[in-house]
Amino acid sequence: MTIFIYILLFITNMAKEISKTAQLVDLDLLDKKILFELDINSRMPITQLSKKVRANRNVVEYRMKRLEEKGVIQKYVTLIDAGQVGLMAWNIYLEFQNTTPEIEQNIIDYLKKHKKCWWIASTTGSWDLIYSILVKDIKEFYNTVDEFNSEFGQYILNQSLAAHVEIYIFSRGYFLNKASVQTIWYKTYNPQKIDEIDKAILSELSTNARIPLVTLAHKIGQTPRIVSYRINDLIKRKIITVFRLQLNPDIYGYKFYKVLIYLKNQNKKSNNLLREYCRQLGTIMHYELKIGPWMLELELDSKSYEEINELMKTMKTKFNDYIKSYEILQISEELKGELNVTLQL
């Protein structure tokens, strides 16, 4: 009976994978050009975008709408630099023990409701779950993790903690087989004052970067002129890091991976060379410097585990004096992603 159940589960999973493959969206060159440009600046005016992709404005608007409807484009987002508003970012990695699906769901529900938790992901690999929190200081960090462990510690076999130091955000160059465009998130911890108008603007832009200026002004009860000035000021002060896309790579045949990299012989020159190498690849979206058991993480889209493993083997060979080892995690599901970091203030 047990063998029959395993066979049935295998057939069911295979059927699901075949169904997913049949539903994949086929992106043509114009789709890829649009995605490439919008991932560099998702707030780019349609007239400018049309010129860059060399297509009629109406055609570009139609293609964008279609990419939204098919689920390729989930949101046009604004990344707010946590360090510029006085917040520290930490990742907590969990390996479970003695859990059931119900217990794991309780853990997820707890984190989803927690104000300081801004990202949750289930993973396959050496860790089962990763959650990220934003806190004002190390004491707040300790208390937040301690409260979680007091509630669910009996179900945690292993736990690792890693602090964000500096994150290089790379655009998805792979759409056109080009190098990525780089921006930096959390380069410095430089708390700046933001008022209620700034918070209202950031709240709207965080998940709707393409909202028209007039619409945004109306929603927050300000004039377009004031809102335009405030947005430019937030960019100038580096509180707004970048406008980019939130995509669903599953729709076009990619998966989302995280790579934990253990380093040796650490030095700035090797770090700079490796970062530039990663930028040139065009497949890596985040180059994240950490303080923790490992000192570097990469986030990227890839067509398969085999493809990313080959990529990492090549990278390790090229940087053998710098990369000690690595672990590949597939992000099975992103369970929470709160882009409005001002909610933590």
Q: What is the mean pLDDT of the segment spanning 276-286?
A: 97
pLDDT at 32: 98
Contacts of 299 (CB under 8 A, 6+ apart): 256, 257, 258, 259, 284, 285, 286, 288
Say how far apart CA 34 and CA 52 lie, in whole Å: 9
pLDDT band at 345 (very low <50, low <70, confident <90, very high): confident
On whether the CB atoms of residues 70 and 34 are closer than 8 A, the answer is no
Number of domains the chain is built from: 1
Of 228, 199, 196, whose CA–CA distance to 212 is shortest? 228
The enclosing H or E element of 126 equals none
pLDDT at 2: 40
State the CATH number of the domain containing residue 176: 3.30.70.3460
Q: What is the mean pLDDT of the segment spanning 199-217?
A: 97
Decide if pLDDT at 315 tops 50: yes
In a domain, 302, yes or no: yes
In a domain, 321, yes or no: yes
The enclosing H or E element of 210 equals none
In a domain, 202, yes or no: no
Crossing angle (nearest 10°) for helices 101-113 and 138-152: 150
Say how far apart CA 82 and CA 66 lie, in whole Å: 33
Query: What's this model's pTM, rounded to 2 decimal places?
Result: 0.90
Domain that holds residue 330: 84-183+248-344
Q: What is the pLDDT of residues 110-168, one digit of tens each?
A: 999 999 999 999 999 999 999 999 999 999 999 999 999 999 999 999 999 999 999 99
pLDDT at 344: 83
Q: What is the pLDDT of residues 221-273, one digit of tens each?
A: 999 999 999 999 999 999 999 999 999 999 999 999 999 999 999 999 999 99
pLDDT at 272: 98
C-beta atoms surrounding 288 within 10 Å = 24
Q: What is the mean pLDDT of the segment spanning 205-233?
A: 97
pLDDT at 24: 93
Q: What is the mean pLDDT of the segment spanning 294-318?
A: 97
In a domain, 58, yes or no: no
Say how far apart CA 47 and CA 62 lie, in whole Å: 14
Average pLDDT, the chain: 93
Decide if pLDDT at 185 tops 50: yes
In a domain, 287, yes or no: yes
